[in-house]
Amino acid sequence: MSPRTSLGRGATIAALALASLGTTGAGFATADTAAVPDPTAQNVTAYGTTAAWSRKAADGYHLVVAQGATVAEAPVPASPAPYDPDLGPTKANGRAIVYARDGDLYRYDVGAAAEQKITEVSGPRPEIAPSFFRDTIVFSRPNGESSGTYIKRPGREVTRLFRTVALETDVSETRVIGRYGKGAKSIIRIMNMNAKDVKIVARAKTGQRVMSPTLTRFNGIWLRVGRTSSTVEQVGVNAHRGLDVLTADRALPGQVGSLASYRIPTLYTGAAGVQRITPKLRFR
């Protein structure tokens, strides 16, 4: 671990050494390692050696960005509700974070002085659950006759991709994944960019919920949260990668609140804060 780093508004958290994201640990162990011991951390996301999550403070919820061993609050306003950020690459191979606040969508380019409102997708009703990949944005509009899951691709108009509202989304070069429904009624869907090929790949069971859907180049990954433990599952995005759902070789402890994946599952949040998954999970 790096030395403790002071953040804005008097908060302190342990600096997060993320340079090894996507690498493996030595040997098999059931104990993951603490990355940031902040029990208010939630909704973690990662891409490359950059991660982001929400943390609670006296004035609301703050967006935290970790890049390499540097951890700091992003220069964006506090939110009355937890941030649910998604981190993705820009066309220029930078790192951008998208998130909702007060019904509008914003983008923060890591290292910038301020956020930007995503005006090209703004409508008369609230937008939620955005995700980002090379300037393509997927999000949901939860209210009204035009509710559903939407997509905005560079040089194209905003279009409704799916008539059901996704409460979480992720987007890659060729696919969209989303979590639909809550609690024991939650499901995970994967679809192509025009929703002509839609598959339900996971359903929650009694006492469970499925959440934190993420796309890598080859796989869809999500979290299945139970009463006493949580498991990670994955499926190939096409027949070449295999369409059978695989389960990780070990469970994650307790009620995990969110999962971040970059190529493989890397981080999660729980009662102990942000945890690094080590050694890496293997699927069967």
Degrees, nearest 5: CA angle 162-165-167: 130
Cα–Cα dist 70/172, whole Å = 26
pLDDT at residue number 242: 67
In which residue are the tokens 């403070």 written?
Answer: 57
According to DSSP, the residues that pair with 225 across neighbouring strands are 209, 230
Cα–Cα dist 214/230, whole Å = 16
Neighbours of 41 (CB within 10 A): 25
Q: Domain count of the chain?
A: 1
The answer as to whether 283 is a domain residue is no
The answer as to whether 284 is a domain residue is no
Cα–Cα dist 131/145, whole Å = 22
Cα–Cα dist 211/43, whole Å = 11
Residue type at 105 in one-letter notation: L
The answer as to whether 20 is a domain residue is yes
The answer as to whether 259 is a domain residue is yes
CATH of the domain at 183: 2.120.10.30
The answer as to whether 63 is a domain residue is yes
The answer as to whether 142 is a domain residue is yes
pLDDT at residue number 240: 64
Cα–Cα dist 125/200, whole Å = 28
* Tokens at 76, concatenated: 């964006």
The answer as to whether 101 is a domain residue is yes
Q: How far lies 114's CA from each of 36, 166, 247, 261, 273, in Å? A: 24, 28, 40, 26, 26
Residue type at 231 in one-letter notation: T
User: Does residue 148 come out as left (phi exceeding 0), alpha (psi in the -120 to 50 range) or beta?
Assistant: left
Task: Give the predicted TM-score (pTM) of the model.
Answer: 0.89
Size of the chain in residues:
284
Residue type at 19 in one-letter notation: A
Cα–Cα dist 260/278, whole Å = 13
* Tokens at 130, concatenated: 């955005």
Cα–Cα dist 267/170, whole Å = 16
Q: How far lies 268's CA from each of 151, 201, 239, 255, in Å? A: 27, 21, 28, 11
CB neighbour burial string for 155-188, b if at least 16 within 10 angstroms, e if fewer: eeebeebbebbbbbbbbbeebbbbbbbeeeebeb
pLDDT at residue number 17: 41
The answer as to whether 176 is a domain residue is yes
Cα–Cα dist 53/241, whole Å = 30
Segments of the chain with pLDDT less than 50: 1-29
Q: Which domain holds residue 108?
A: 4-276
